[in-house]
Structure 1
Amino acid sequence: MTAPVSNTEAVRAQVLPLALQCLPYREIARRLQLSPGVVSTTIYRLRKAGQLPPAPPQVQQGSIGQRLLEEIKAAGGTGLSRRVVIDRAGAQAQAVRRALRHLLKYGLIRREPDGLLLAADAERLPAEPETLGERRAADGPLANVVSYALTLVQAGSPNRATLFLMRAAERIDGGREPRAPEAVNLLALADLIRFGEGRTYSGKIERIAIEGSDA
């Protein structure tokens, strides 16, 4: 039988050492024969009094925030632009922006000086300047852009290829909404390369990109 609802100093003294072990509320309640509600209230007051650290930030399972966090984590050190994240989210832009603000506020992601979003614990890849060859390839036909990116992959520079494609997509887009089909296809290719599938699907991606250029 659980103890009656109370929040005395004795209860705080019992709950504190178990809470510092990060035990679940129900486990603390079971050990101390308290109701989960008493444990929850006690821990809240201990945090408010500064005797426990603040609650760790959480993202609700299945929420837009969780999907965004996973997407940004998957990008690793290459990061993602805010615009790309909004495009891929599959939700209203306003809801995505709100979720991004939450992730930034609680330190789950960070924004780099150039605007790219990275997971809080991700190491930023060195920002390499665009080469003359990349600039010329990005200004050429879409098939040349794809071919140049795959050449970089085959040369052992997948991160460079990903960055090149992201820059090429932004150049094609020119800030338009909705995104140009060609830019969307280049970002899809960047995703495949990021996940190590650039070689496997190279033929398929070339067809998609060329079809996109005719749209």
Structure 2
Amino acid sequence: MPDFPRHDDVNTTNPPDLPLSADRRERLLRLARLAVSSAVADGVPEPPPRDDPELLRRRAAFVTLRSRGSGELRGCKGEATARRALVDSVISGAVGAATDDPRFRPASVDEVPGLRIEISALTEPRPILPDRIELGRHGLILARGGRPLGLLLPQVPAQHGMDVAGFLEALGRKARVPRARWADDPSLVLLGFEAEVWAEPDPTPGG
């Protein structure tokens, strides 16, 4: 997965987790689709645009690919912390979801039209106690020494019918640190975050 360089024009003048306008959300979806198409065709995504200060705010993002109609997961990649501009994070996540998710083979050119793109723009993660977790609002990260071991997005519990206990158990599996062992490792930190989530429309059957 290409790691776009950090740019000097990243906008850090205002909080990075302000809600995005509908136009900017739509633009990021278009850029993500272009990045996926370019990456699977020749492995060279277009350079991210630098013309919108709002998209240059430092913010982490994940991009999820699902099959249109069935909603079956086809790939998901992103960053847990805000290391670079939102537009860079989205494009890198889109390319990674299509070509570098180890759970799936890389997407083919023929598959791209049948993929639905979903973007999750994250707020900055902060420590959270299990009894403060709100399902549907909080995503979770299990970290050690500042390094994320596993991350689950806020939409995961609803997609899999999880309660809070199940959400924590799933995070432990993702991080490869079983929930029962967390209390024995003081270096582990549970972090919570929120996310703006939006996606391309999914055609309804017969539509």
Identify the structure with the greater strand proportion.
Answer: 2
- Determine which structure has greater relative contact order: mean sequence separation of CA pairs < 8 Å that are 6+ residues apart, divided by chain length: 2
State TM-score, norm by structure 2. Answer: 0.28
Identify the structure with the greater helix proportion.
Answer: 1
Highest Rg: 1 or 2? 1
State TM-score, norm by structure 1. Answer: 0.28
